[in-house]
Each structure stands twice: as C-alpha cells, then as structure tokens.
Amino acid sequence: MRDSAETTPTSKPTIVQVVGPAGAGKSFFARRFSKTFGAPLVSRDRLRWTLFAHHTYSEDEESIVSQVADVMVDELLKTGKLFILDGGCNRRPARNLIRDKAQKNNYQIFTVIVQTDEPTARSRATHRDHRSADDRYNQSLSAEQYAAQLKSYQSPVVDKNTVVISGKHTYSTQARTVLKKLVEAQKVPVVTGAKPRIRPASTVRSLGPFIQ
C-alpha cells in the first residue's frame, strides 16, 4: 500500500492565551469562548476586582494578582485539559514564563491576538460600563494608565499557533476564525495510508474532540 502524508491531531492539551492592548476586546472574546466550551478561564481582571476595591495597577497590586493567577495556572496544568488565559500575556517575559510552564507540563500554547483601532480601544478602556457583563470586572482607566499599558504592550510574533481577530467583530465571526486556526494548529504531518480523523471546520462544535 502506498503511504501518503496525512494529518492527525496532537495529543497535547492547549493553553489559549488571549493577547491585546487594553480595550481591544480580550475579555469579550475570552469570556464567551470559555462559556462555549465550559473551559476554565483565568481572568486577571476578575482576580483584581475580587482582591482590590480600587485598582491602582501599582507594582504591589500587579505582583499579588500575578501570584494568584500563577497558582490557578499551576493547578490547571495538572488537569491535562484546555484552559484560557485572559490577561497577563501582553509582555514577552510573561509569555516566556507561560511557555516554559507549558513545555514542562506537555501543553501547547495557542495565542489569540485581539486587534482594535486605537481610538476605539482607548474609549472602551477609559469609559467602562459596569452594566455590561464584559465590563463588570473592569475599572475605567485614567488617560495616564491607558497610555502606560499601551506603551508596555508587546505584540507576539504571528506563527502557526497564533491567530489575529478583530475586537470589533461579532463573537460568532471571531469564534469561526479562531476555531479553524486552532484545529489546524493541533495537527501534525505524519506518514500514513489512513484518512485524517479530524479536518479543519468552521463551526464551534468542531473543537469538542480537542477538549479532553
């Protein structure tokens, strides 16, 4: 029988890290994506809201939020299942730490970059509406806080495990884009005469086999 190159899913579970400047729409996507699959979500905004009545984004505050988030990540890495990170991935050193933990625990990382034009992102970040579910855990940033966060943002390199989405698109459009790339990223070429078990798909249900 003639062998042919096919693709099959990798066995590694996935960390989905959502990256983007303040106000880009990270929480909008991450919260819905988590709900779609019942996947755990580590939300630094929610941790900050729980730990601090007023958000200063000081070094001490950031350190405490990071420590609690790290504990959650360490525990989730024991499960061998997909989970989502919203926040804490906007700078290269932080992403390198997550990468090292992922490798140590036989996880792979998939990065979702949320992009939105700067005026829209600034308006969202500095004028939060707590009546909205997506703004419930976010405190409006001052102009200075927004500028500082924007300056510190370091966008990841786009590769086969990265997808870019618009923070102004509907969730259904975002999900279709992410799922297609995520399914493709979870495949590796092998030599086999069998047909691939899973093909890239454009619907939300298609990711089900990968949450295991």
- 161: CATH: 3.40.50.300
SS3 per residue for the chain: CCCEEEEEECCCCEEEEEECCCCCCHHHHHHHHHHHHCCCEEEHHHHHHHHCCCCCCCHHHHHHHHHHHHHHHHHHCCCCCCEEEECCCCCHHHHHHHHHHHHHCCCEEEEEEEECCHHHHHHHHHCCCCCCHHHCCCCCCCHHHHHHHHHHCCCCCCCCCEEEEECCCCHHHHHHHHHHHHHHHCEEEEEECCCCCCCCCCCHHHHHHHCC
User: Distance between CA 116 and CA 135 in Å, rounded?
Assistant: 17
Mean pLDDT in residue range 114-133: 94
Residue 154 domain boundaries: 4-210
pLDDT at site 50: 95
Length of the chain: 212
| Average pLDDT of the residues of the chain | 86
Domain count, the chain: 1
Q: Which residue has the higher pLDDT, 208 or 53?
A: 53
pLDDT digit string, tens, across residues 173-191: 999 999 999 888 876 444 4
Task: Decide if pLDDT at 147 tops 90.
Answer: yes
| Bridge partners of residue 18, in order along the sequence | 86, 112
Mean pLDDT in residue range 20-37: 96
pLDDT at site 170: 97
pTM of the model: 0.84
Q: Which residue has the higher pLDDT, 87 or 134?
A: 87
